[in-house]
């Protein structure tokens, strides 16, 4: 069995690797997320542990990419850091939607990771939502406003393979209306060579908890922002 660890802190890598080895995993380490994404199909890991401390946004890209590009999606586990005890409520909702197997911190050692690997849900995933927050939304109407905002601009994530260089391109997606999408690459140079009308055949989009492979057509590209038409 293989486990992929994506983190930058040497001590964290050593500690996580030691726990994984205790459970019989061969550990493969990457410090650069994009490089890991480029090789994930070849590695075919059974488990992926990624540091959200090092990659606070990109773990979502990893989750949807690994889910859509693997016959048997690997079990994804999030390391949230040494000072943060758990994910925020909003991030936990995203993790649940992406079928993340669990999250842990090293605040009290790595016992939580051992629990997750043993199939025991972490304490953080058992905690019910805070009823006080829900009540406030109902009283002041904030919940309705947030719902309207979500309907006005559907939250989504998007990642694709550059059809010319075959580089994996991740970034911020916004304004998806079911057909068109605005996309700002994390590394603009990776998408700068895509002119208007370029067809992107290998892409993945996540809308809510729906993850699916799609194709796209470049409508415009000013290097820092692409407008894409989702075609399938």
pLDDT digits (tens, 9 = 90+) for 64-97: 777 766 667 888 999 998 777 678 888 888 888 7
Task: Indicate the helix (H) or strand (E) that contains 204.
Answer: strand 199-207
For residue 13, the model assigns a pLDDT of 92
List Cβ neighbours of 186 (8 Å cut-off, separation of 6 or more): 58, 169, 170, 171, 172
Computed over every residue of the chain, the mean pLDDT equals 79
Q: Which of 222, 228, 166 is nearest to 197 (CA)?
A: 228
Please tell me whether residues 34 and 112 are part of one structural domain: yes
Q: What percent of the chain has pLDDT above 70?
A: 80
Contacts of 35 by beta carbon, 8 Å cutoff, 6+ apart? none
* pLDDT score of 131: 40
Range of the domain at 194: 156-230
The CATH number of whichever domain residue 112 belongs to comes to 3.40.50.2300
CATH number at residue 200: 2.40.10
Positive/negative CA dihedral, 193, 194, 199, 204:
positive
Confidence of residue 109 (pLDDT cuts 50, 70, 90): confident
Based on the fold, state whether residues 75 and 7 are members of the same structural domain.
yes
Q: How many domains, the chain?
A: 2
Q: Is the pLDDT of residue 144 over 50?
A: no
Indicate whether 103 and 186 sit together in one domain: no
Rounded-to-integer distance, Cα 170 and Cα 44, Å: 20
Q: For residue 29, is pLDDT > 70?
A: yes
Same structural domain, 25 and 103:
yes
Residue 100 belongs to a domain: yes
Res 157 pLDDT > 70? yes
Interval 221-227 mean pLDDT: 90
């Amino acid at each position: 069995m293989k486990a992929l660890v994506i983190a930058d802190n040497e001590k964290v890598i050593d500690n996580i690797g030691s726990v994984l080895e205790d459970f019989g995993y061969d550990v493969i380490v990457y410090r650069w997320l994009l490089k890991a994404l480029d090789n994930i199909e070849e590695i075919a890991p059974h488990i992926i542990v990624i540091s959200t401390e090092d990659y606070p946004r990109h773990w979502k890209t990893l989750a949807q990419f690994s889910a859509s590009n693997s016959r048997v999606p690997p079990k994804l586990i999030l390391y949230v850091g040494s000072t943060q005890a758990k994910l925020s409520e909003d991030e936990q909702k995203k993790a649940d939607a992406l079928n993340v197997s669990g999250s842990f911190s090293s605040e009290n050692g790595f016992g939580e990771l051992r629990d997750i690997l043993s199939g025991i849900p972490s304490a953080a995933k058992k905690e019910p939502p805070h009823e006080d927050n829900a009540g406030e939304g109902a009283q002041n109407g904030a919940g309705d406003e947030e719902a309207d905002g979500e309907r006005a601009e559907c939250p989504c994530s998007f990642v694709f393979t550059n059809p010319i260089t075959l580089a994996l391109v991740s970034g911020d997606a916004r304004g998806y209306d079911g057909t068109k999408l605005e996309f700002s690459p994390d590394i603009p140079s990776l998408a700068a060579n895509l002119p208007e009308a370029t067809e992107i055949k290998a892409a993945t989009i996540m809308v809510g908890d729906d993850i699916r492979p799609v194709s796209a057509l470049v409508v415009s590209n000013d290097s820092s922002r692409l407008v894409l038409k989702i075609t399938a």
